[in-house]
Structure 1
Amino acid sequence: MASLTDLTDRVERLLLRHDEILRTNLLLQVQLTAITQERDSLRSRLNAARARVDALLERLPVDTPKEDQP
């Protein structure tokens, strides 16, 4: 059977581990927020670039088939 000192040590280690996990979780949440904002920004830039390319494609002349000349 575990002694009171052993149990106290184990509880203290668990509390330290809990604090480490809380700090890690907070850091991961901050990273996730930053990455999500970056993704949204890149998605917006991609959509703007796609719109510009589509506008340029609309301005290109349509090729008409040429008849074979003898």
Structure 2
Amino acid sequence: MASASQVDQIAERVERLLVRYEELQRTNALLVQQVELLTQERDSLRSRLQAARTRVDALLERLPDINPAA
């Protein structure tokens, strides 16, 4: 049978584990939020890049064809 000291030690370890678990839960929530923000930023940058590519392509289409005399 476990002595009172062992029970106290186990209870203390359980308490520390619960505190650590709560800390990890908070950290995880913050990381999830950060991933969501970064995903939104990435999507926005991709959209802006595609728009810029479209504008460059349109400008290139407007350039006259330059065929060197053969």
Same fold (TM over 0.5): yes
Structure 2 match to 1:49 = 52
Aligned-pair distance for 1:57?
Answer: 0.3
Aligned-pair identity (%): 58
Query: Is structure 2 residue 22 aligned with structure 1 residue 19?
Result: yes
Aligned-pair distance for 1:64?
Answer: 1.6
Aligned-pair distance for 1:65?
Answer: 1.7
Query: Is structure 2 residue 56 aligned with structure 1 residue 63?
Result: no
In the alignment, structure 1 segments of 5+ residues that lack a partner are: none
1:22-45 deviation digits (Å, cap 9, x = unpaired): 000000000000000000000000
Q: TM-score, length-normalised on structure 2?
A: 0.90
Amino acid at match of 1:23: R
Q: TM-score, length-normalised on structure 1?
A: 0.90
Over 2 Å off, 4+ runs? none
The Cα RMSD (Å) is 1.3
Aligned-pair distance for 1:66?
Answer: 1.9
Q: Distance in 2 between matches of 1:56 and 1:43?
A: 20
